[in-house]
Structure 1
Amino acid sequence: MENNNDERFSPIKSLLGLLSFSTIIPVKQYTSIEYMTRLVWCWPFIHLIVGILAAVCGIICADVLHLNPFFTSVIIYAFLMLITGYNHLDGVMDMADGVMVQGDPQRKISVMKDSSVGAGGVATLFLVAVLTIAGIYSVLDYECIAGIIICEMVAKSSLLTTSLLSTPSNNGIGCYFIYSTNIFNYILSTVIVAVIAYLVGDIIGIIGLVGAVVAGALIAFIAKRNFIIANGDVLGMSNEVGRLMALLFMSVALFFL
């Protein structure tokens, strides 16, 4: 993002900046990272749109192309990864490598920041991807297409939960998101997300949000225990695990409800 000292804050430019930052949608709008992250609490609402597009992709695969639920689930996951530019996958691998290595926080952070990827990172990414596809398959098996919309939206609520509960590093893009997340905008964002989730998926939507918040808190705890601080890699892990946990919680709820 371009940083222009003479730039004035614009909510529209901030939202478009978040959209450009987290997707490959060709938005020709740039703003500074400081101004962009002022509205970080709106991030779930941007990914509500991404979730709707993923649900449309699933409907086309299932009802138009008549693909089986497994093939449809794989395509939906691939669509989500493509449209988000594989934005958080490196975070999954990097954080996993840092957690797996033995040593003090400085040692773990250095491994997390290393450009090379270890076996732990590759294996963790594989598990997260496979389990997410299984989760998509599960909600589709219950004919809950709304679950696709909800899981993508609340993945960002997971990221915000981690941001709220974490101590930022001294550098990197991730610190801007953490600094910009406070208890007031977090509660506002979560309440609005809860209302949307309920309108889209009834009580199942609320349960999906709970799963994402639990995931965000868990990732924040793991990061604090291993690294003390959190960075963009930790937030990336939170996003992907948040989507997975939302699908898991919704799948269990769909069985019992």
Structure 2
Amino acid sequence: MENDDYFEDEEFSPVRSLLGLLTFSTILPINVFTSIEYMTKLTWCWPFLHIFVGILAALCGYVSVEFLHLNSFFTAAVVYAFLMILTGYNHLDGVMDMADGVMVHGDPEKKIRVMKDSSVGAGGMATLFLVASLTVAGLYNILDYNFILGIVICEMSAKTSLLTTALLSRPLTPGIGSYFIRETNLQNYFTSTILIGIIAYLLGNVAGLAGVLGAVVSGIVIALIAKRNFVLANGDVLGMSNEVGRMVSLLFMSVALFYI
């Protein structure tokens, strides 16, 4: 998709770019492709596209509970598996690659080399296990409160976390991640986050807002970790932010649901 002559004479189309972004981040049979430059111009809309993904995951959870009569834990595992499959395991390599880069000792150049290496170390495997386990635990917790709309909130909030990291990062070039980082600025970030916050409040009141806040906090932390270890950020860093953002969003919602 990057620098492909096929898109040389293409004109920018918001609808085509949004559908291209959804094609890029899911396995849904949309099959709309556009240049990486045009697709990433609407990066700030990514959380809104994943409201639809979250709705599908929430329906999966509803069917699991109401029709298959699975308990909350089994349903949480099914929902997580559904999300991973639907998104094509898109960000899991980012979790492992960034974790490997952070764990290795050395200067930023060495850490970046390890992060970009195709092999996976113990740190990457362990981090993926922890993130996946804690995400399933978070889904289990909100389902125990019958807060199934929290699935929608955590999925759209995952992309808010990614945008937060993109906003606070300098891009590592070349790479697809650099396009997303360059297209994220203060104006479109705040527009996106405020609108997502309103939607989250309508879906889940204070708990919904807490989920978005958790994602923002997560995005800030991942950006700081990346800056300290790599100076620059790439798609692996954004992928880590997405997965950890979903997890922390669930954590914040779980705490909020206990107190409200």
**TM-score, normalised via structure 2 length:** 0.98
Tell me what 2:248 maps to: 245
Q: Read off the aligned partner of 2:17 and give its amino acid letter.
A: S
Q: Identify which of 232, 236, 239 aligns with 2:239.
A: 236
Alignment of 1:42-191 (within 5 A): 42-191=45-194
What secondary structure, in the 3-state scheme, does the structure 2 residue paired with 1:166 have?
Answer: coil
Task: Give the equivalent residue in structure 2 for 1:27.
Answer: 30
**Structure 1 partner of 2:20:** 17
Amino acid at match of 2:85: L
Structure 1 residue runs of 5 or longer lacking an equivalent are none
Deviation at 1:104, TM superposition (A): 0.2
Q: Which runs of 4+ in 1 moved over 4 A?
A: none
Q: Percent identity?
A: 68
Per the alignment, residue 39 of structure 2 pairs with 36
Task: Give 1:67 shift.
Answer: 0.5
Q: Tell me the residue number matched to 2:230.
A: 227
Quote the residue 2:218 is aligned against: 215
1:202 Cα offset (Å): 1.0
1:1-40 deviation digits (Å, cap 9, x = unpaired): 3641211000000000010000000112110000000000
Shift of 1:170: 1.5
Q: For 2:234 and 2:112, locate their aligned partners in 1 and report how far apart those are by CA, in whole Å.
A: 10
Quote the Cα distance in structure 1 between the aligned partners of 2:227 and 2:172.
11
> Residues of 2 paired with 1:69 and 1:184: CA distance?
40
- 1:48 aligned counterpart, secondary structure: helix
Report the AA paired with residue 89 of structure 2.
Y
Kindly indicate whether residue 9 of structure 2 is the aligned counterpart of residue 6 of structure 1: yes
Q: Distance in 2 between matches of 1:220 and 1:91?
A: 14
Amino acid at match of 2:209: I
1-side partners of 2:21 and 2:200: how far apart? 21
Q: Which amino acid aligns with 1:187?
A: F
CA distance in 2, matches of 1:181, 1:38: 8
Structure 2 CA distance for aligned equivalents of residues 237 and 98 of structure 1: 12
Spell out, residue by residue over 1:208-232, the C-alpha distance to the aligned partner (whole angstroms, 9 max, x if none).
0000000000000000000000000
CA RMSD of aligned residues (A): 0.7
AA paired with 2:124?
Answer: G
Distance 2:154 2:173 in 1: 31
Secondary structure in structure 2 of the residue aligned to 1:198: helix
Q: How far apart, in 2, do the equivalents of 1:119 and 1:28 lie?
A: 36
Paired residues, what number? 257
Q: Deviations over 1:63-122 (max 9, x none)?
A: 011001111000000000000000000000000000000000000000000000000000
Q: Which amino acid aligns with 1:27?
A: I
The letter for the 2-side match of 1:102 is: H
Structure 2 runs not aligned, ≥5 long: none
* Cα distance between partner residues in 2 of 1:168 and 1:28: 28
